[in-house]
Structure 1
Amino acid sequence: MAFDTLGLKEWIVKQVSTVGYRTPTPVQVNCIPPILQGKDCIGCAKTGSGKTAAFALPILQKLAEDPHGLFALVLTPTRELAYQIADQFRVFSRPMNYKDCVIVGGVDMMKQSLELAKQPHIVIATPGRLAGHLQTAHSISLKKIKFLVLDEADRLLDASFAEDLRVIFDSMTKERQTLFFSATLSDSLNRLQQLAVNKPFCWQAPLDSVTVELLDQKYVLVPAKVKDCYLINILQTLHDEEEKTLILFTNSCRNCHVLTLLLKTLGFSCTCLHSLLSQGERLASLAKFRSKKTRMLVCTDVASRGLDIPSVHVVINTNVPASPKDYVHRVGRTARAGRDGVAITLVTQYDIQRLHNIESHIKTRLEEYHVSEHKALKHINLITITRREVELKLSQSNFGENRKLHFTKRKLLEAKKLKKQPKKKEQ
């Protein structure tokens, strides 16, 4: 199967070849033709399977046939994914006169309004910031768009995005194609079918296993109180073996920051990524890791979805995710594009049931990763004292203050909006 058999024009096939794509992936083979035929589409495939190209290529081909104003809107749950999608659109669109705009939080709204005023063809946005523009800046109209894409669609259906999506959908025309893509859609199919304007074409990759075959999945059973000691021992072992790149996932912004400072104090080179960093800091951390200036990225689930960093050798879950879907997205950061990879999950005595739920979901038993208890606890005093010092320093800083201010501001705005609403007359 070749790209020119999918209904794509010669110019876009040549550009795809220039980028290095030789043969289309299953999600591209099954989803590109119906999208070109004008159908709504729901696509579900493993992470790293080429889902972005599956919607970007037909959108660009349709745009080239009828270039006008705002043509497509792509919604994503995270800022980093928005920038990555924009980069892929730019690569595929080089032969044409193309303009896009990325609308995410952490960037000055006035600058974004000026970018939107230039009438980009495609807007890639996170729901919260786009809803803010629609409600306050009035710098964008969605009445004439031809395509709406929800990337990582199941995540966008979470309650945290509900109000922002309502604002966006209320501002849109129903004469559009709606495309939904994600690695985990099984629980969301009915909801997505309701959101589609027309009856959508649905395609799901075979569910023989949810994670990729080349991924070696392991667990380490550790006592909760000395988890840091086991983690440090694993990192030292991996560091001594060979030059590997690692992503460490944590369950909160605070834990992410504490662990980063702990590792740096103990002599590890690492950088962190979480939602309490400024947008500049987040992009700088990703760039530093992608360029291999540092081999270790400590992050929250903000980095678990969609980010394409092909050279990650090991993913370490410092906690067991509550949702098996979150586990799938986390470990999907390694073993990408035909490469192998390792995922190691630290399991405490409180996480056994979560581990069983994950194994049931992915239809795979995790193997034990052996760690010497003696070696792990060798520096327990140093690690424990260092962590306490790090946590004390963080408590004395203003960590998290911006989030508290943003939350308070949002509540005040909601209260003000309610006051303006007319009261219902009593019968």
Structure 2
Amino acid sequence: MAVFTSLGLSEWLVRQCSQMGINKATPVQENCIPAILEGRDCMGCAKTGSGKTAAFVLPVLQKLSEDPYGIFCLVLTPTRELAYQIAEQFRVLGKPLGLRDCIIVGGMDMVTQALELSKKPHVVVATPGRLADHIRSCKTFNLQKIQFLILDEADRLLEQGCSDFTKDLEVILGVVPSKRQTLLFSATLTDTLQELQTIAMNKPFFWESKSEVRTVDELDQRYILTPEKVKDSYLVHLIQKFEDENSDWSIIIFTNTCKNCQILTMMLREFKFPAISLHSMMKQKQRFANLAKFKSNVFKILIATDVASRGLDIPTVQVVINHNTPGLPKIYIHRVGRTARAGRNGVSITLVTQYDIHLINGIEEQIQTKLKEFPLEEKDVLKILTQVNVTRRQCEIKLESTDFDEKKQINKRKQMILEGKDPDMEKNEKETKKITKRKLKEMKTGHGKKGQK
């Protein structure tokens, strides 16, 4: 690992890094920082937890110190929590400059955000949807003079299957200057990312970690084979085991839906575990509050959907548990990357049911690593099986009484209205498709009304 002074960074930035306990550059920083300082577009692809954020923050701050004016840098990122984390890194490293940053994400007051934008902060960190809304509705700020456009977790932002991100990016790219430096960073490389030339045109520099392994060596990757109906009992027993064996422990549990996230949180609290949740159905202020409580160790367990799987850096996390096996290897890579960061050790455990064997095979092939079985006594799991199943059902009934599903539908309708879509039209289209499908089936089988006559 190189020292920062050899990369061309100013003395004041090296001192700031030293104050944060960062004394040597990681490979992604060592390779990308000089290219960015030369004025080249850059795309960096490296393992999660390898220091990608500092790889773009440091050179941007150096360039800003040479000519501080207007909105100098725009950073786009897929999640609100990650936007706050990136802004914090800019703020800490850029303190000697008196750096002014602005965070533009959903769930917060648009008028307040518009006022902050009009004050011409040096750095704007935004989620594409909310920034696109400001561009469409507000003319009090100007992005025509930005020097840097940065896409963090670029594979997610450029995913062709994600039409919302694509539309919002088109709006943003329409108002930023063509003469700029474009930086793209990600932990996973996709076909979309390889089409770098469509966004980056300024002598692009590409760097990808040479390692075929997409997870770090310090991560101990395990699995537990469990029948679907016993999975929650294994989870409870697993947490009990960590609680008994470690005084200083911190766990993130990933699950696939907001509803399951909420139920698991309620269930674990019934077992007196210090658990807190994070999912997209929560209000933004509550999401931030819960994340802060977990970071400060007020709560030891965070149950989350994939809203927390990207980029979040929480040093205290020792264990990541996948309550469901991720359908895509890259989702697995991002999830388990929440532990064993920056050279620290960590453990990931995936609960694998009889339906998930092919998914695990795909993950192992992608990460070039075989997962090892995590030893647990089945008899200890069976002891708590009835209690866990009853507790879970009670939590499901309790959640149903709060109209959780109805709230989800209301939120979905609100989002569609904000995007200019007609929610009733979509509902009618779905009903029409169902009726058409049923009639075609009746015609084929002869069981329709005509067939009966």
Q: What is the TM-score of this pair, normalised by structure 1?
A: 0.94
Kindly provide the CA deviation profile for residues 302-346 of structure 1, in whole angstroms up to 9, marking residues without a partner as x.
111111111211110000101100101111111112111110000
SS at the partner of 2:63? helix
Contact 2:276 2:302 in 1 (8 A): yes
Aligned mates of 2:288, 2:184 — CA distance in 1:
26
Q: Which amino acid aligns with 2:186?
A: S
After TM superposition, list the pairs within 5 Å mapping 1:3-402 onto structure 2. 3-158=4-159, 159=162, 160-243=164-247, 244-399=249-404, 401=406
Residue 397 of structure 1 deviates from its aligned partner by: 1.0
Q: How far apart, CA to CA, are the structure 2 residues paired with 1:374 and 1:193?
A: 57
Q: Closer, same or farther in 2 for the Cα pair 1:394/1:138, shift >3 Å?
A: farther
How far the C-alpha of 1:265 sits from its partner, in A, is: 1.1
What is the rounded CA distance, in whole Å, between the counterparts of 1:236 and 1:87 in structure 2?
34
User: Counterpart of 2:183 in structure 1: which amino acid?
Assistant: L
- Per-residue CA distance 1:96-122 (angstroms, 9 max, x = gap): 121110001111111111111111011
> Are 1:75 and 1:151, in contact at CA under 8 Å, matched by a contact in 2?
yes
Secondary structure of 2:370's counterpart equals coil
Q: Is the CA contact (8 Å cut-off) linking 1:153 and 1:185 kept in structure 2?
A: no
Shift in CA distance, 134/406, structure 1 to aligned 2, threshold 3 Å: farther
CA pair 171-398 structure 1, distance change in 2 beyond 3 A: farther
Are the equivalent residues in 2 in contact too, given 1:359–1:366 (CA < 8 A)? yes
SS at match of 2:40: coil
The AA in structure 2 aligned to 1:181 is F
- d(CA) in 2 for partners of 1:346, 1:245: 18
Say if 2:158 and 2:193, in contact at 8 Å, map to a contact too: no
The C-alpha deviation readout for 1:231-263, integer Å capped at 9, x for no partner, is 111111111111211110001111111100010
- Percent identity of equivalent pairs: 55
- Are the aligned partners of 1:276 and 1:400 in contact in 2 as well (CA < 8 Å)? no
What letter matches 2:10 in structure 1?
A: K
More divergent stretch after superposition (18-27 vs 117-126): 18-27
CA deviations 1:138-166 (Å, max 9, x no partner) are 34322111100000111112314111111
Structure 1: 5+ residue stretches without partners? 417-427
Give the Å deviation of 1:205. Answer: 0.9
In terms of Rg, which structure is larger? Answer: 2
In structure 2, C-alpha distance between the alignment counterparts of 1:284 and 1:155, rounded to whole Å: 25
Aligned residue identity for 2:107: G
CA–CA distance in structure 2, aligned partners of residues 78 and 189 of structure 1: 18
Shift of 1:411: 3.4
User: For structure 2, which runs of at least 5 residues remain unmatched after alignment?
Assistant: 423-453
What is the CA distance between 1:399 and its match in structure 2?
2.3
Deviation of the 1:405 alpha carbon? 3.1
How big is the shift at 1:406? 4.1
Q: Deviations over 1:177-220 (max 9, x none)?
A: 10000111243332333221334100011123111001111100
In 2, Cα distance between equivalents of 1:377 and 1:9: 60
One-letter code of the match for 2:42? C
Q: 2:420 aligns with which of 391, 396, 414?
A: 414
SS state at 1:386 partner: helix
Three-state SS of the structure 1 residue aligned to 2:62 is: helix
* RMSD across aligned positions (CA): 1.5
Pair 1:415–1:19, CA change in 2 (3 A): closer
